Structure formats: C-alpha cells, structure tokens
Amino acid sequence: MATIEQAIRTMLTKGTVLSAAGVPDARVTHGYRLQDSDLPAVTYSVSSKEPAALTGANSGTLTINCIATTSASALGIADAVRSLIVPDSYDAVVVAAAFIVSEQLEPEVVGLGDEQEPAIATTTASIFWST
C-alpha cells in the first residue's frame, strides 16, 4: 500500500510542470537534499499526521521547499508547485482536499569567497487523504 509520502511525490512529479520549471524528477526528494547536490531542487515532508475527526480520512501538514540559486528562481518553482497541489488519486491514495496555508521566502545569502546559500521558497498546505 502506498504511503502519503509516495503519493505526494507522485503528485509533484505528475506531468512536466516541474521539469519545465527546471527541476527534474530525480531532484524531488522526501525530507532533505544533500548540500552538494545540483540545484534547483524540491524537498517535501508531511507532518502532524492524524485522523480527521469527522471524515474518516487523515489530515496532515505538507511542507514543500523549492530550493534554487536565486530568489526569483525559487519563487518561480514555488508557483509551479502550487499548481500541482490538487485533490486527486495518487498511487491509490486519494487526496480529498488540499489548501495552501502559508508561503515564505528565505532569500539567497552570499557568504565569504565563492560560497553562497541558496534561496528557499517554502509552501505549507493542509491536506486530507484516505487510502
């Protein structure tokens, strides 16, 4: 049986939306990305998983980080990601509802020498699903 994490990855890699935004499927990862891995990239996690009281479904908080070398790139990827967060069936997991709760941007930070921290656009959503 598929997990919600597997379903979210399927949701994010469905079609060519992220690829067109410069993020190949291989750079969409659960939890984290390695610091020296290629950019742009997308990471995601589902937290606060619990039964939804009245519906018999589950609820949780989905956090998606769009990581790129510039703020403009990170925001562009975040726009693409938001278009992918839609109710549907993914890997036998039915996402019944999903809505954006917040969006935040951490701009890129230039360090000493040739080091630079990437920009991160974070989208947080509430999701409801059943298996």
The CATH number covering residue 48 comes to: 3.30.70
Give residue-wise pLDDT tens across range 32-52.
888 788 999 999 999 988 776
Structural domain that includes position 116: 4-130
First-to-final CA distance of the chain: 8
| Helix, coil or strand: residue 16 | coil
How remote is the C-alpha of 30 from its chain's centroid? Answer: 9
Instruction: Give the 3-state DSSP-derived string for 7-42, with helices as H, strands as E and coil as C.
Output: HHHHHHHCCCHHHHCCCCHHHEEECCCCCCCCCCEE
What pTM did the predictor assign?
A: 0.90
The predicted pLDDT at position 35 comes to: 78
Residue 16: Cβ-neighbour burial (10 angstroms; 0-12, 13-18, 19+)? exposed
Query: How many CB atoms within 10 Å of residue 29?
Result: 14
Give residue-wise pLDDT tens across range 63-103.
999 999 999 999 999 999 999 999 999 999 999 999 999 99
Q: Based on the structure, what is the number of domains in the chain?
A: 1
**Angstrom distance (rounded) from CA 114 to CA 99:** 39
